[in-house]
Chain A
Amino acid sequence: MKPQPTEDTIEYYKHLSLFWTDLIHLMSSKPQALGSTGPMRAFAANAKKVSTELIEINQNLIGFNEYLTEYYKQLAETWKEAQKKVNLKAPEVPQDVEQLDAFKRIWIDIFDNDFTELFDSKKFGENYGKLVSKELDLTRHWNNITNIILQSVNLPSKEEIDEMYKEMHSLKKRVMKLELEMKKKKTGEQNGQ
């Protein structure tokens, strides 16, 4: 399949960016190692990872914008259709309080019905699911960049913290079950006596 011009352009800039990041890193690594110690050195070594994440964020943004545009398009079209229905049902400008209340009721009922129909539809559900998925991809890249920065200053990454949470959860679960079993056993013994 022939690549799309947009993909060509992205690939070109991705390559260009990585080439220069790599080369500058290679050229500067030795003088940098000599001139800097600790966190700054670690951060310089991770510059390529940050650069890669930023390029991929841009790629994800294209997909995200596509689904976001569709999301607002669906909302705008539903609004337009609902307004047409309101105009048909209540063509006159309300001139007293009763008419105004009736007009408001018609407007709210039609808009709520039409928007609920949209939110219930397969096309909305699918697009919204993909939109959230792309948003999560963007969050993942942001998390990755944050992790690189955390590691460069010798702080635990999200994965390392997660590992700790998992271990704590497993330990708490074991303790809780043991405590419950002990309680049940104690109650059983008391009842037996």
Chain B
Amino acid sequence: MASETKIDPKIMDEIIKFNKNVIDAPKLVPAPDEITLEVTPHDVVQKIDKTRLLHYKPLTDKQHKTPLLIAYALINRYHILDLQPQKSWVRNLLQQGFDVYMLDWGAPTAMDKYLDFDDYINGYLDGAVEYIKNESSSEKISLQGYCTGATLATTYTTLHPESIKNYIATAPVIDGWRDTTVISNLAKNMDVEKMVEIIGNMPPEFMYYCFSVLKPFEQGIEKYVNFFKNIDNQKFVDNFLRVEKWLSDTPPIPGELFKQWIKDIYQENLLIQNKMYVNSNHVDLKKIDMPIFTQVAVGDHLVSPECSMPLHYAVGSEDKTLRMYPTGHVGMIASSLSQKKVLPELGQWLLERS
């Protein structure tokens, strides 16, 4: 006797509703290209090559004395720190009375393939720090680095400690051998010399491949199903499209910089061992002797906590704070948790030292 399969009519309703949402989507939501990612007003105060230094307009009558410079990562663009007003890292700091600058690394082209750590640290980052010192008449500023931006900012801070009053390392890439992520597995097995010699800059397509192996089914299927299911929810859709637009815009990384980063951090792990050099200058983490605040996300699948935390123990500072948050790599900087927990804690720490 043939068995009878009973299908809940609600399943059919769900399928019909989902199909309707897919058809209605273009009428209800804007195309990613129609969305502007920069939300907080700012001036571009300095340009060096393709980099831009952004100075955000204050949102309070009075501001704390020491300005803050944010060095964003080399992967994707800085917009994630200011994606939308309710979840903006930058806006929150401005509302807490800080004077905020952002260094936009720009989009390198083929002719930038020889740019290296020295150019980024002693050229672009130092150029930004010097500009801010002059403009604010401060001898020292606060510096925050995020992800690979924190690798650069950490290196900068060891080489120019005299310019930095407070250092904030957010999900820093420091100890490559302890990194347990999929990205580090690919990086450790990469013939980076050959890649740079033949291709030049690290192409965005390679980064998109790396993104595709991170939770491929959750990120590749479920995420988009949820998008169409929630097509009527304007807040959800707006946030989704902004994050998607940000994710799909990663610039190339200059070949020489990429080569040193992969070799020195992931393959030979020189930074944490105090064996790294930038243009013959020794990078010694013990030279970081100013107050340091290290922020780590427990669920970070791009930079694992084991990769970031060693910085806290390796620096020479006596005033050091390590905070771990129950979120992921992006959740730490652009979520409700970051607004309610991460930023107030950072603001309080910075206020006491600014």
Contacts and interface: CB of A to CB of B under 8 A. Distances in A.
Interface of B is mostly: helix
A180 B195 contact: no
Interface string B90-129: 0000000000000000000011111100110011001100
Nearest to B222: A108
Give chain B's interface residue range (CB within 8 Å of chain A). Answer: 35 or more
A18 to B, nearest CB: 24
A184 interface: yes
Contacts of A104: 222
Given A120-B180, A136-B191, A165-B114, A97 B215 contact: no
A165 B49 CA distance: 14
Name, among B114, B119, B181, B221, the residue most crowded by chain A CB atoms within 10 Å (CB to CB).
Answer: B114
Contacts of A119: 182, 185-186, 213
Contact of A129 (B11, B48, B118, B190): B190
A97 B15 CA distance: 10
Contact of A187 (B134, B194, B222): B134
B199 A108 contact: no
B306 interface: no
B115 A169 contact: yes
B8 A97 contact: yes
B2 interface: no
B218 interface: yes
Contacts of A33: none
Given A97-B10, A180-B126, A184-B130, A115 B111 contact: no
A112 B110 contact: no
B217 A112 contact: yes
A177 B214 CA distance: 40
A115 B216 contact: yes
Given A97-B14, A125-B186, A187-B134, A140 B217 contact: no
Contacts of B119: 169, 173, 176
B53 to A, nearest CB: 14
Contact of A95 (B5, B122, B198): B5
Given A143-B198, A165-B113, A187-B134, A129 B7 contact: no
B5 A112 contact: no
Contacts of A162: 113, 200
A122 B186 CA distance: 9
A110 to B, nearest CB: 9
A189 to B, nearest CB: 13
Nearest to A158: B200
B34 to A, nearest CB: 31
Interface string B3-33: 0011110110010000000000000000000
Nearest to B196: A136
Given A136-B194, A176-B48, A126 B189 contact: yes
19 contacts: A95-B8, A96-B8, A97-B10, A108-B217, A112-B215, A116-B182, A119-B186, A120-B180, A120-B182, A125-B188, A126-B189, A129-B191, A132-B191, A136-B191, A143-B198, A162-B200, A169-B115, A180-B123, A180-B127
Given A119-B213, A126-B189, 12 more contacts: A100-B14, A108-B217, A116-B214, A119-B185, A132-B191, A133-B194, A139-B198, A162-B113, A165-B113, A166-B114, A169-B114, A173-B123
The list of the 8 closest CB pairs from A to B, nearest first, reads A129-B189, A96-B8, A169-B114, A125-B189, A119-B182, A125-B185, A111-B217, A119-B213
